[in-house]
């Protein structure tokens, strides 16, 4: 463990630490950010009234829209002279959301990423190739600072340029790859397609640090098989910090949340009510130490659940389930709710189907139509038409029985679905265009 004292702290002691920090953070936001003052006042809540966790429910939520409305620096709680870095989301659907960090915040960010890497077994003896995009996105700099804090040799490669990625892996003896899971598959594809006979074991790669988008257990197995590595999940969001809000451990079963920095709640996304441990809902974050950009009850839209399971790794930190999707990514097809990750799970159960797919949703009249375009491998593609039509029929049947949706299945030829270097685009929703 990178920070044994914190990561294995008895739950009661952690609660105490959180409560003290919550009081500070709530007051910090109220005193220094006009929007929080306005919202708290309107809800009849004052930081002095905050005495116990039970008071959380009285505090209003912060939403992405609040961030957009206060673009760019309106939610900062310190003068700009104290802010040393900003990150931002791309803002394709409105104003970008901008977050700021002070020197202390930068240290916290590095700390959580160093803890995450250590929990996958990465150490100062490793050579970490960071293929997350460097720039306003938190993936590049986030992993970079954390890996350096851990003491690992860090290669600031950024995303893309697969031949060069492979060259560096070979020449520098990379042992850890950090990238989106979809880009990791892209690399596997490239090797299989362009370097026949290449032996993965000739590389020193052993660990993958994958996140920034939802990925299923099936996808994990596929990446592990093809790249001959152990693949671990890293989760986070720029509004809260970036990668390292939570991380898997050696158990590969749930992600430990770094609770000394983030207080987490699960709410019912429709009513806003707090749900007990073990129930699925939207995860809401309150920052406990952040100076530049405090987030009080930030609604993430990510769907997961929290639980404690006496993890064998020795960490006492609460766990969250692998995030299966965002409530705003959830597709409602003729009344049936379905997440892209469920579609991925079904697809990956079929032989000959590649982990590259796109979901196109359209509206014909008043009815929603869903088409799943999925790539098949060379073998199936070159087989008789009958085998292909059987495959698409079987997939359609499975969608119907497992998910309750009628989807049109289109088998796409090998290498025809666009590849990603960062987050994969899985859904094309023509209803919104
Ligand atoms: O994606 C931070 C990050 C960078 C995480 C690198 C991990 C690795 P954003 O661009 O703000 O930040 O996007 C955050 O991406 O709310 C989730 O919906 C999704 N997401 C991030 N990590 C995971 C994950 C970065 N491991 C949004 N599993 C979040 C599922 C994830 N979804």
User: Are the CB atoms for 100 and 79 separated by under 8 Å?
Assistant: no
Q: So what's the pLDDT on residue 325?
A: 84
Verify that 237 and 170 share a domain, yes or no: yes
Give the residue among 129, 128, 124 at the shortest CA–CA distance from 151.
124
Q: Which residues pair with 262 in a beta bridge?
A: 287
pLDDT higher than threshold 90 for residue 350: yes
How many other C-beta atoms can be found within 10 angstroms of the C-beta atom of residue 137? 22
User: Are the CB atoms for 106 and 149 separated by under 8 Å?
Assistant: no
pLDDT-derived band at 121 (thresholds 50, 70, 90) equals very high
Burial of 340 (0-12, 13-18, 19+ CB in 10 A): buried
Verify that 171 and 256 share a domain, yes or no: yes
The enclosing domain of 302 has a CATH number of: 3.40.50.12780
Return the structure tokens found at 37: 């003052």
How does pLDDT run across 296-343, given as a tens digit for each residue? 999 999 999 999 999 999 999 999 999 988 888 888 888 788 889 999
pLDDT-derived band at 433 (thresholds 50, 70, 90) equals low
Q: So what's the pLDDT on residue 72?
A: 95
Q: So what's the pLDDT on residue 187?
A: 96
Instruction: Decide which of 299, 327, 355 is a domain's last residue.
Output: 327
Beta-carbon contacts of residue 390 (< 8 Å; ≥ 6 apart): none
User: Are the CB atoms for 238 and 101 separated by under 8 Å?
Assistant: no
Verify that 34 and 155 share a domain, yes or no: yes
Q: So what's the pLDDT on residue 17?
A: 98
Share of the chain above pLDDT 90, in %: 88
How does pLDDT run across 269-297, given as a tens digit for each residue? 999 999 999 999 999 999 999 999 999 99
209 CA closest ligand 1 atom index: 8
pLDDT higher than threshold 70 for residue 64: yes
Q: So what's the pLDDT on residue 432?
A: 67
Q: So what's the pLDDT on residue 255?
A: 98
Verify that 313 and 350 share a domain, yes or no: no
pTM exceeds 0.85 for this model: yes
Verify that 19 and 33 share a domain, yes or no: yes
Verify that 276 and 418 share a domain, yes or no: no
Beta-carbon contacts of residue 11 (< 8 Å; ≥ 6 apart): 308, 316
How does pLDDT run across 124-157, given as a tens digit for each residue? 999 999 999 999 999 999 999 999 999 999 999 9
Verify that 254 and 381 share a domain, yes or no: no
Q: Which residues pair with 357 in a beta bridge?
A: 374
pLDDT higher than threshold 80 for residue 92: no
Q: So what's the pLDDT on residue 315?
A: 98
Q: Best substitution site from 212, 242, 257 to test ligand 1's pocket, by max atoms within 8 Å of Cβ?
A: 212
pLDDT higher than threshold 90 for residue 173: yes
Verify that 249 and 282 share a domain, yes or no: yes
Q: How many domains in the chain?
A: 2
pLDDT-derived band at 91 (thresholds 50, 70, 90) equals low
Verify that 275 and 340 share a domain, yes or no: no
398 Cα–ligand 1 center, Å: 29
pLDDT-derived band at 120 (thresholds 50, 70, 90) equals very high
Beta-carbon contacts of residue 171 (< 8 Å; ≥ 6 apart): none
238 CA closest ligand 1 atom index: 11
Q: Which residues pair with 256 in a beta bridge?
A: 247, 319
Average pLDDT of every residue of the chain? 95
What value does the mean pLDDT take over residues 114-128?
A: 98
Distance CA 21, CA 15 (A): 10
Instruction: Decide which of 305, 327, 349 is a domain's last residue.
Output: 327
37 Cα–ligand 1 center, Å: 29
What value does the mean pLDDT take over residues 46-66?
A: 97
SS3 letters across 370-428: EEEEEEECHHHHHCCHHHHHHHHHHHHHHHHHHHCCCEEEEEECCCCCCCCCCCCCCEE
pLDDT higher than threshold 80 for residue 182: yes
Verify that 146 and 275 share a domain, yes or no: yes
Verify that 290 and 349 share a domain, yes or no: no
Verify that 172 and 74 share a domain, yes or no: yes
User: Are the CB atoms for 319 and 55 separated by under 8 Å?
Assistant: no
Q: Which residues line ligand 1 (CB under 6 A)?
A: 89, 132, 137-139, 211-214, 233-238, 242-243, 300, 302, 323, 326
Instruction: Decide which of 312, 327, 342 is a domain's last residue.
Output: 327
Which domain, by its residues, includes 384? 331-432
The enclosing domain of 346 has a CATH number of: 3.30.300.30
421 Cα–ligand 1 center, Å: 15
Distance CA 246, CA 248 (A): 7
Q: So what's the pLDDT on residue 327?
A: 82
pLDDT higher than threshold 70 for residue 93: no
Q: Which residue's CA is the closest to the ligand 1 atom numbered 27? A: 237
């Amino acid at each position: 463990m990178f920070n044994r004292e914190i990561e294995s702290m008895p739950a009661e002691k952690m609660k105490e630490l959180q409560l003290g920090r919550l009081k500070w953070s709530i007051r910090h936001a109220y005193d220094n950010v006009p929007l929080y003052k306005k919202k708290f006042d309107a809800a009849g809540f004052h930081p002095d009234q905050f005495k116990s966790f039970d008071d959380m429910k009285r505090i209003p939520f912060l939403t992405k829209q609040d961030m957009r409305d206060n673009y760019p620096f309106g939610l900062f709680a310190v003068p700009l002279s104290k802010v040393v870095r900003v990150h931002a989301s791309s803002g394709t659907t409105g104003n970008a959301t901008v977050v700021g960090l002070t020197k202390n915040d930068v240290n916290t960010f590095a700390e959580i990423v160093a803890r995450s890497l250590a929990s996958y077994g990465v150490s100062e003896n490793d050579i970490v190739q960071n293929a997350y995009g460097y720039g306003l996105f938190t993936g590049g700099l986030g992993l970079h600072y954390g890996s350096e804090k851990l003491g690992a040799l860090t290669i600031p490669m950024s995303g893309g340029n697969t031949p060069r990625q492979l060259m560096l892996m070979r020449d520098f003896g990379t042992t850890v790859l950090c990238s989106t899971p979809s880009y990791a598959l892209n690399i596997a594809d490239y090797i299989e397609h362009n370097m026949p006979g290449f032996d993965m074991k000739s590389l020193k790669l052993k660990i993958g640090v994958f996140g920034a988008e939802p990925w299923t257990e099936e996808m994990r197995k596929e990446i592990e098989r093809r790249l001959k590595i152990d693949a671990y999940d890293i989760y986070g969001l720029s509004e809260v910090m970036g990668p390292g809000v939570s991380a898997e451990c050696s158990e590969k079963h749930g992600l430990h949340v770094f609770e000394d920095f983030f207080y987490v709640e699960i709410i019912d996304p429709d009513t806003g009510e707090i749900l007990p441990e073990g129930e699925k809902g939207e995860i809401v974050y309150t920052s406990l130490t952040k100076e530049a950009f405090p987030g009080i009850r930030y609604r993430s839209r990510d769907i997961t659940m929290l639980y404690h399971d006496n993890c064998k790794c020795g960490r006492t930190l609460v766990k969250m389930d692998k995030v299966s999707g965002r409530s705003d990514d959830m597709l409602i097809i003729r009344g049936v709710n379905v997440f892209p990750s469920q579609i991925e799970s079904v697809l990956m159960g079929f032989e000959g189907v590649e982990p590259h797919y796109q979901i196109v949703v359209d509206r014909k009249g008043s009815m929603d139509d869903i088409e799943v375009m999925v790539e098949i491998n060379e073998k199936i593609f070159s087989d008789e038409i009958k085998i292909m039509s059987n495959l698409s029929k079987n997939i359609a049947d499975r969608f119907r029985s497992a998910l309750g949706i009628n989807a049109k299945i289109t088998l796409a030829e090998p290498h025809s679905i666009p590849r990603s270097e960062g987050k994969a685009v899985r859904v094309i929703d023509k209803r919104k265009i």
